[in-house]
A and B are shown apart, each in its own frame.
Chain A
Amino acid sequence: GAGVSQSPRYKVAKRGQDVALRCDPISGHVSLFWYQQALGQGPEFLTYFQNEAQLDKSGLPSDRFFAERPEGSVSTLKIQRTQQEDSAVYLCASSSTGTGTQYFGPGTRLTVL
């Protein structure tokens, strides 16, 4: 079956622009995670959804970062007023349960100029 998909795969933004990154999880997966992976680093947790409820947003680095999953399926990570330090690969993962194996999408590489 289809895996986790993310779009766009690459995004270039000018500093100060807003961006929106989309994640389509595996069908039926109730849990959805967002991670930020800086160059040469491991992924860092940003936020977690169970269905449409955002149960943990402790990893969001600032109030410029906002995530939503209004219908419990597709999720969008929005970054307002992008800064150069936001440049990273943003990974989305889904799992059938909150503590189950996470399946990752290919990521969106964001470059802020």
Chain B
Amino acid sequence: AQSVAQPEDQVNVAEGNPLTVKCTYSVSGNPYLFWYVQYPNRGLQFLLKYITGDNLVKGSYGFEAEFNKSQTSFHLKKPSALVSDSALYFCAVRDFGNTGGFKTIFGAGTRLFVKA
């Protein structure tokens, strides 16, 4: 079965420092991977996705993620964190099993705190 793991409930980083939010996945076949961010009282916002091609994917707000097939990881990164990046981040994988790819499975989320 497809699954997504975000091993850290919370990540703390100082403003200006690089940040990493970890994600590992388990899928059968080639993965479609996504990162979303959720701000309080707002819906999820799409950050970036990996379908095929370059392992380093660049997305919104200066975020990027690196697809590592051997480690089955898709960690979210940003070279220099901003206080405004503080939010809840979700990694997700598209399930291309019997459901035909319509079902997206989300991780439990990682809360990022960026301290000024």
Contacts and interface: CB of A to CB of B under 8 A. Distances in A.
A33 interface: yes
B100 interface: yes
Interface string B93-116: 010000111111111110000000
Contact of B108 (A41, A45, A102): A41
Contacts of B94: 99
Contacts of B42: 106
- Count class of interface residues, chain A: 20 to 34
A62 interface: no
A55 interface: yes
26 contacts: A4-B43, A31-B102, A33-B104, A40-B109, A42-B92, A42-B108, A42-B109, A43-B90, A43-B106, A44-B106, A45-B103, A45-B104, A55-B100, A56-B100, A56-B103, A58-B99, A58-B103, A59-B103, A91-B43, A91-B44, A98-B100, A99-B101, A99-B102, A101-B46, A102-B104, A103-B46
Interface of B: 4, 32, 34, 36, 41-46, 49, 90, 92, 94, 99-109
Contacts, number: 59
Given A91-B43, A104-B45, A106-B42, A42 B101 contact: no
Given A56-B99, A91-B43, A98-B101, 11 more contacts: A33-B104, A41-B108, A41-B109, A42-B90, A42-B107, A48-B102, A56-B102, A99-B32, A99-B101, A101-B46, A104-B43
